[in-house]
Chains A and B, each alone.
Chain A
Amino acid sequence: MTIASYPDWCELLRVPIDANAAADYVRAGQDGAIVTFDGFVRNESHGRPTLYLEYEAYESMALVKMREICAQIHERYAIHCVAMLHRLGHLEIGETSVFIAVSAPHRAAAFDACRFAIDTLKRTAPIWKKEFFEDGAVWADGELPPAPPPAKPAS
């Protein structure tokens, strides 16, 4: 099934994310559903109160990965358009760090695609989060993206 789509919107921002703008961007007359994911800064980490977070990214590669995710969900699900925005720099408690909006003619595809998009972004986009506490700061435990197998067989 092919659905006409206009360009997806992938961006890394150092200003607050405008969630309404992202949802409006993906909305069109042919759609019947938009599913959004709003990831925001929690006030604690493993029981320790968090003061704030800092995000950094390998920006050019993160954008490549985000565009790949968009291409993948267009291939897998009958969706129309995607907005995928990630914030970098200093974020206060409660501020949105990542926002994804997916539009589709029908809700099931939009739910599935949005879930796939955030799960894959967290596993593969080269973005890092540092958590600041009263008594210090740590890089958040992350996931190691899968590396390609060696080109030459091990001898």
Chain B
Amino acid sequence: MPHVLPNLRVKVLFFGRIRELTGITEEWLEMPEGTTLSELFEHYAKRFPALAGFRPSLVASRNQEFAAWDTPLSSGDDIAFLPPVSGG
């Protein structure tokens, strides 16, 4: 029997143009233990192919801090993919 990694559960938020593209404001998602921010993004890029092209112009955040794409997720994390900011 193959070893099955436990799942972790994260909250994923979208803003601005990619919120409009995905139609998702926020949702909870289960991913395998060890999933990185980059792999989480790939999950969404498969669900929403038009999202893939935005990858170079996004930064990721984990628990309200900017995070590197190779950051592994922990259960309960708040994850967001952020387009270029234009406040002020």
A124 touching B68 by the CB < 8 A rule? Answer: no
Contact partner, B84, options A62, A86, A143, Cβ 8 Å: A143
Of the candidate stretches A2-10, A15-23, A108-116, A125-133, the one touching chain B is A125-133
Contact (Cβ within 8 A) A126 B60? no
Contact B68 A151 (CB under 8 A): yes
Q: Quick one: given A58-B15, A61-B80, A147-B59, are A97 and B88 in contact (CB under 8 Å)?
A: yes
- Contact partner of B16 (CB less than 8 A), chosen from A56, A60, A125, is A56
Q: What band does the interface of chain A fall in when counting residues whose beta carbon is under 8 Å from B?
A: 35 or more
| In the complex, A93 has a CB within 8 A of chain B | no
Cβ A126 vs Cβ B61 within 8 A: yes
Interchain nearest-CB distance for A131 vs B (Å): 9
Partner of B71, one of A97, A124, A151: A151
Contact among A62, A118, A142, A149 for B86, CB-based, below 8 A: A142
Q: Are A127 and B87 in contact (CB under 8 A)?
A: yes
**Residue of A at shortest CB range from B16?**
A128
Within the complex, the shortest CB–CB distance from B14 to chain A, in Å, comes to 10
A136 close to B (CB within 8 Å): no
- Which of A39, A141, A147 has the largest count of B CB atoms less than 10 A from its CB? A147
Interface size class of chain B, counting residues whose CB lies under 8 Å from the partner chain: 20 to 34
Chain A residues, Cβ within 8 Å of B28 = none
Among B17, B61, B70, B87, the most chain A Cβ lie within 10 Å of the Cβ of B87
Partner of A121, one of B66, B67, B68, B87: B87
Chain B residue contacts of A97, Cβ below 8 A: 87-88
Would you list 22 pairs from A and B whose C-beta atoms are within 8 A, ordered by A residue? A56-B16, A57-B15, A58-B61, A58-B64, A58-B82, A61-B64, A61-B65, A64-B65, A86-B87, A97-B87, A122-B87, A125-B87, A126-B87, A127-B88, A128-B15, A128-B16, A129-B87, A139-B17, A144-B58, A145-B85, A146-B66, A147-B68
- Which residues of chain A have a CB within 8 Å of any CB of chain B? 39, 55-58, 60-62, 64, 86, 97-98, 118, 121-130, 139-152
Given A128-B85, A141-B86, A143-B85, 10 further pairs, Cβ under 8 A: A39-B88, A58-B15, A58-B82, A98-B88, A126-B15, A126-B61, A126-B87, A142-B85, A150-B68, A150-B70
